Structures are given as structure tokens and as C-alpha cells.
Amino acid sequence: MGIDRLDARLIELLAEEPRIGVLEASRRLGVARGTAQARLDRLLAQGVIRGFGPEVDPAAIGYPVTAFATLEIKQGQGPDVRSHLAGVPEVLELHTTTGHGDMLCRLVARSNADLQRVIDRVVGFEGIVRASTTIVMENPVPLRMIPLVKQAAED
């Protein structure tokens, strides 16, 4: 039910050069095509690989500013706040966290000035008590899974 070294190498390979396809991957891994095919099918079936969606860079479409906002929610307003935030395109993701009924969300904006508009829209909602925002300056480690995948394969 876990993941082995072959799986990890497959994922790694696909992460580096997503366009190669199963056949080429099997060649590089030194296994039969059927094997690579079967592994990939299994990884998809198990949900290890969710899909191969295009990774869009918000900066490249005019949203170079990223920020994280911590929201304090009024008791029992969780569901409403969620659907409100889900309706804001600039909210890229939303997590509910431990603590004071808090949420953490990732925002993007067209500029620092525009961020104000986004934040106003985010917090302009009955049920959000308080919000604190931190702006991202750099992203030294962009979202990555490969090191984790490698580690997971050692079991």
C-alpha cells in the first residue's frame, strides 16, 4: 500500500520531464513498458498521483504578489466563511487550523496596492472577526514533493 523505489523513480522522472510518456519512462527506468504502465496506473488508482494538471504561475498572468492571511472566525460561521472565500478567485487555497477557530489562506494580487482590495474582499464578510496578513517576499523553496517521495520509498 506504500510506495517503493521504482515508484519513486517513476514519479521523479515524470516530475522532471512530464512530457516523456510511459514508453520513454520505462526505457529510462530499465523496465518493461508494461511494468511502468502498471505502476503508473496503480499510483493513479491509489491517489498517490492526483493528476497531471498544468501548473500555472500566478505571476505570469498578472498576479505577482503572494500573501498569507490568518483569519479569526466567529463561532459557527465556518461553513459560511468557507463558501465566501471559495468565491474569491484570488484565494488560492484555504486551510482550517488548530486554535481559535482560525483559518489560513493563500492570496495573490496584482500589486501591493491591489492586495488591499483583495484583503478587503476577503475580510468584508460577516463572520470574520480579525485578519492578519503577511506578504511573501521570496520563495526559496517552491512547492516540491520529490524529496518526500524519495523518503517515503525507503520503507
Partner DNA sequence: GATTTGCTGGGCAACCTGCCTAGCCATTCC
Partner DNA sequence: GGAATGGCTAGGCAGGTTGCCCAGCAAATC
* Interface positions with DNA (CB under 7 A): 6, 19, 21-24, 30-35, 37-39
Q: Is 64 helix (H, G, I), strand (E, B) or coil?
A: coil
Among its own copies, DNA, none, what binds residue 99 when CB lies within 5 to 8 Å by partner kind?
Answer: its own copies
94 binds its own copies (CB under 8 A): yes
Query: What is the C-alpha to C-alpha distance for residues 100 and 20, in angstroms, rounded to an integer?
Result: 47
Say if CB 40 and CB 31 are below 8 A apart.
Answer: no
Say if CB 123 and CB 131 are below 8 A apart.
Answer: yes
19 backbone φψ class: left, alpha, beta (φ>0; ψ -120 to 50): alpha
Pick 19 or 95: Cβ nearer DNA: 19
Q: How many CA atoms lie within 13 A of 77 on its CB side?
A: 17
Pick 124 or 144: Cβ nearer its own copies: 144
Among DNA, its own copies, none, what binds residue 37 when CB lies within 5 to 8 Å by partner kind?
Answer: DNA
Among DNA, its own copies, none, what binds residue 108 when CB lies within 5 to 8 Å by partner kind?
Answer: its own copies
Pick 3 or 128: Cβ nearer its own copies: 3
Query: What is the C-alpha to C-alpha distance for residues 155 and 140, in angstroms, rounded to an integer?
Result: 29
Query: What is the C-alpha to C-alpha distance for residues 45 and 71, in angstroms, rounded to an integer?
Result: 36
Candidates 31, 104, 119, 123; binder of its own copies (CB under 8 A) is 104
Residues of this chain that interact with its own copies (CB under 8 A) are: 2-3, 11, 14-15, 18-19, 46-58, 60-63, 66, 68, 82, 85-86, 88-99, 102, 104-106, 108, 134-145, 147-152, 155
